[in-house]
Structure 1
Amino acid sequence: MSRNWFRWIPAAAVPAAVAVGLVVSGASAVPPPPPASAEQVVALVASHRAQQFSGDVEQTTDLGLPAIPSQALDATGGSSAGQAAAVLGLLTTAHSGRVYADGPTRLRVQVMDQLAERDVIRNGSTAWTWDSKAARATRTTLPAPTPRAAPTPDAALTPDTLARRVLAAAGPSTAVTLGDPVIVAGHSAYTLVLTPRTSGTLVASVRIAVESATGLPLAVDVHARGQVDPAFHLAMTSVDLRAPDPSVFAFTPPRGATVTQEHLPAAPHRPTTGTSAKRTAAPAGWDAVVTLPADRVPADLLRSPLVAQLSTPVGGGRLLSSSLVNVLVTTDGRLLAGAVPVSTLEAAAR
């Protein structure tokens, strides 16, 4: 999945089962004693000790969008329209997979499709994405920042990475409280509840299950306003808190695969002291609207039959609407997206 496509979707709406057996001996499923505050659980997540683990993951969505047939996804090819189909597939179809982690710079996520497999592998400064159906691999050389800040491919979405993004984006616009303790994948967990303080968003709340002993996020549920079941659910269904075999992070493209090489530029130096340290603020907040100018919206996206099928004509463009995210493509080619009502996008487009 393209990094650019991933960034078009608000972090809380991306894009995420409770029970099943525990593989690690000695862990308890007894509900944990309540912590003194939500801030303590947030701090537990920020410094969690589960740097080595593996387990099964499931992701389901209920956004009110129709499921996309696999043949429709295949027909879009590898263009920008195909990347759009990949995002739409994520938002309309349930997925299962397996995740392996060994420290901050070694990660593998396997997504199992029907008769196919997609992988995202990070091993130090090298990252691979692999699509077995298309027999296509991409190798990316990552820059070398500090280990804790080392980048991870956006497609490697796990409850841990999603929970950290949501918590990092939470600010004064978010109320963070404690919910009832839960059991996830056989582990007792605290529940963090993030509630937007604004009524101008489609997000009602985000609930994060945090393993009580280690601080590892085990599940993320995003709830849309007026909807009982989670609009987006991403959870571990089994967890093994031992180091995975190092061989799972090694990857060699099969013979005959199409291989592409990418290089990510190093992040520009930013001064950390003095008044000259300035950053360009990105859209923030639950009611934020992301806008792409026409020259950054791929032309083949606008011509995609799949996008045309799932969107509807509105005054000033075409709208792809769901219970959690709305996307407006204007007649002049701009794209606006956010976890906001349609009226907010239309106002921003004027």
Structure 2
Amino acid sequence: MSKVWKRWIPAAVVGVVVAGAAVAVPLSAGAAGALPTKSAEEVLALVAGSSVTGFSGTVEQTSDLGLPSLPAGAGSASGSSEGSSDSSAAAASSALELLTGSHTARVYVDTSNGAGNLRVQVLDQLAERDVIRSGDSLWLYDSAKQTAVHATAASTSAPDADPTSPAETATPQQLAQKFLAAADSTTDVTVGGDVTVAGRSAYDLVLTPQSGSTLVGAVSIAVDSATGLPLRVEVTAAGAADPAFSSSFTALDLSTPPADLFSFTPPAGTTVTEKTVPSGAASTAPANPAQEQYAHVPDASKPVVTGSGWSSIVEIPAGSDSSALTSSPLLAQLTTPVAGGNLLSTTLLNVFVASDGRVFAGSVPAEALEAAAAQ
């Protein structure tokens, strides 16, 4: 599948299992009217047992990593075609947009009765970008560029292999699943004080990596007390007091959205690119569970995940025209030249773009990315 769907903060649907995690004693319930006290194990079980199959809401995402904001939609690659000379640069721009400023999106989900319906509307100034997935059909639409990509799966044998959303708008549920999957025996899991998100009471599940090989200091997940649905995810960098990244529902409706929201007809004048996902693309389970979200991508362009948990590094192979990426003015503006390439360094995520066009990213020190590139 096109680089359009490569995500730098993966949002794959994965099992909520924290094997061997160090589970600490919860804090006391506190004042009258507070939620019943639950241990970290009980809150994890609440998430794992969530039976929410349909909802709609508004998600606000903010990033404060010390980078200048990019214009809304600057990273959109909806109109990129396979083999396009600027597709690598567009994908990199989309990834950089994730790390800057704020984004607001309307999200609609319906997984009842086996349906895999999803609609995400990213609200830009005087424009919007949409992802609409209904069964084996996937649309990506950019109103500003009047372009759309329509992908059709040749098989629906793995409906959860491609929970696609724009790179910059992973929902709290998707992010929570990613971070819970990263937690391991080096992670302290605790329960903080009660919180309120989108008008709903929630438990504050806190993941604190104890390994010194990650830039992540802590991840706070607000878990809806009634349904187990993650409502907010905040990520704080090591040594920092305030979150560097947040994705939160500001409004939430737990009723199933109308079916017509998952139908899409391109407006008149839209340039449409048609694609087909190979039927066997997601049939083989990858050796590394962290690579599940890339199971549908052809081997020639499939990202490679090395390491595990908080220390994972994602390598994106060089595109057919890597010079479009390495010569990008945006890359030069936001990165620092280093031996062998360019480095984008933030408090929470480092990205190393090798001179041959390969890209390495992870919440790890820059030296780890450079070492991975040298191997």
User: TM-score range, shorter-chain basis?
Assistant: 0.7 to 0.9
Deviation at 1:211, TM superposition (A): 0.5
- Once the two structures are superposed, the pairs formed by residues 115-126 of structure 1 within 5 Å of their partners are 115-126=126-137
- Once the two structures are superposed, the pairs formed by residues 232-311 of structure 1 within 5 Å of their partners are 232-265=245-278, 266-267=280-281, 269-270=283-284, 279=287, 282-283=305-306, 284-294=308-318, 298-311=322-335
Gaps of 5+ in 2: 13-32, 81-85, 290-304
Task: Return the letter of the residue paired with 1:325.
Answer: L
**Residue 161 to residue 74, structure 1, CA distance change in 2 (3 Å):** closer
Does the 8 Å contact 2:56/2:257 carry over to 1?
Answer: yes
Does the 8 Å contact 1:72/1:306 carry over to 2?
Answer: no
**Residue 203 to residue 3, structure 1, CA distance change in 2 (3 Å):** farther
Deviation at 1:328, TM superposition (A): 1.6
Give the percent of matched residue pairs that are identical in Structure 1 and Structure 2: 50
Does the 8 Å contact 2:172/2:232 carry over to 1?
Answer: yes
The equivalent of 1:172 in structure 2 is 185
Pairing 1:82–2:90 present? yes
Does the 8 Å contact 2:119/2:132 carry over to 1?
Answer: yes
Deviates more, 1:150-159 or 1:92-101: 150-159
CA distance in 2, matches of 1:70, 1:102: 28
Question: TM-score, length-normalised on structure 1?
Answer: 0.83
The equivalent of 1:61 in structure 2 is 63
CA distance in 1, matches of 2:47, 2:231: 11
Task: Return the letter of the residue paired with 2:96.
Answer: L
Paired residues, number = 324
The equivalent of 1:134 in structure 2 is 145
Task: Return the letter of the residue paired with 2:260.
Answer: S
CA distance in 1, matches of 2:49, 2:201: 18
User: Cα RMSD over matched residues?
Assistant: 2.8
Residue 367 of structure 2: SS of its match in structure 1? helix
Deviation at 1:45, TM superposition (A): 1.5
Pairing 1:151–2:162 present? yes
Gaps of 5+ in 1: 13-29, 272-277
CA distance in 1, matches of 2:74, 2:228: 40
The equivalent of 1:49 in structure 2 is 51
Question: TM-score, length-normalised on structure 2?
Answer: 0.78
Q: Which has the higher contact order (CA 8 A, sep 6+)?
A: 1
Match of 1:340 among 364, 367, 370: 364
The equivalent of 1:17 in structure 2 is none
Residue 333 of structure 2: SS of its match in structure 1? helix
**Residues 268-310 of structure 1: CA distance to partner in whole angstroms, max 9, x if unpaired?**
5459xxxxxx825642221233334556783311111111111
**Residues 91-136 of structure 1: CA distance to partner in whole angstroms, max 9, x if unpaired?**
1120112111122511111110001101111112211111100111
Pairing 1:40–2:42 present? yes
CA distance in 2, matches of 1:197, 1:189: 25
